Chains A and B, each alone.
Chain A
Amino acid sequence: MEGTAVQRRLSFRPRPWQVATVTGAVGETPSVRTIDLAVPDWPGHRAGQHLDVRLTAEDGYTAERSYSIASAPGDPVAITVERLEDGEVSPYLTEELRIGDQLELRGPVGGYFVWEATDAGPLLLVAGGSGIVPLRAIIRERQRSGGDASIRLLYSSRTLADVIYRDELDAYRDGIAVSYTLTRAQPTGWTGYAGRVDSALLAEVAWPAHKDPLAFVCGPTSFVETVAEGLVELGYQPNRVKTERFGASGGR
Chain B
Amino acid sequence: MPPGQYVTDGFPVLSAGPTPHTPLDEWTFSIRQGLAELKSWSWAEIRDLPAETVTVDIHCVTRWSKLDTEWRGVSMDTLLGAVEHDEGYILAFCDGGYTTNLPIADVTDGQAWVAYEYDGEPLDPEHGGPARLLVPHLYFWKSAKWVRGVELLDHDEPGFWETYGYHMYGDPWKEQRYSGD
A→B interface (CB under 8 Å): 1, 6, 9-10, 12-15, 62-66, 88, 109-113, 221, 225, 228-229, 231-232, 238-239, 241-243, 245-252
Contact = CB atoms under 8 A, between A and B. Distances in A.
Given A221-B12, A239-B97, A13 B62 contact: no
Contact of B8 (A12, A229, A250): A250
A160 to B, nearest CB: 28
A55 B19 CA distance: 34
B181 interface: yes
Contacts of A111: 163-165
Contacts, number: 98
A62 B6 CA distance: 10
Contacts of A65: 63
Interface in B28-74: 62-64
A250 B62 contact: yes
A250 B4 contact: no
Contact of B126 (A1, A15, A225): A225
Nearest to A240: B17
Interface in B4-33: 4, 6, 8-20
A64 B17 contact: no
A229 B19 CA distance: 7
B12 A250 contact: yes
A243 B126 contact: no
Contact of A9 (B10, B20, B63, B163): B163
Contact of A14 (B15, B19, B64, B181): B181
Contacts of B9: 249
Given A10-B163, A249-B8, A249-B10, 19 more contacts: A1-B163, A13-B180, A14-B178, A14-B179, A14-B180, A62-B4, A63-B6, A64-B63, A110-B164, A111-B164, A221-B13, A228-B17, A228-B19, A238-B20, A242-B16, A242-B17, A245-B13, A246-B12, A250-B12
Overall SS of chain B's interface: loop
10 tightest A-B CB contacts, nearest first: A250-B12, A14-B180, A247-B12, A249-B10, A111-B164, A228-B18, A12-B179, A221-B13, A249-B8, A112-B164
B29 to A, nearest CB: 21
A9 B18 contact: no
Nearest to A15: B178
Contacts of A250: 8, 10, 12-14, 62, 64
A243 B165 contact: no
Interface in B72-86: none
Given A65-B63, A246-B12, A110 B165 contact: yes
Nearest to A50: B62
23 contacts: A6-B158, A6-B163, A9-B163, A10-B179, A12-B180, A14-B180, A64-B63, A111-B163, A111-B165, A112-B16, A225-B13, A225-B19, A228-B18, A229-B18, A231-B18, A238-B96, A239-B17, A243-B15, A249-B64, A250-B8, A250-B64, A251-B12, A251-B64
A88 B178 contact: no
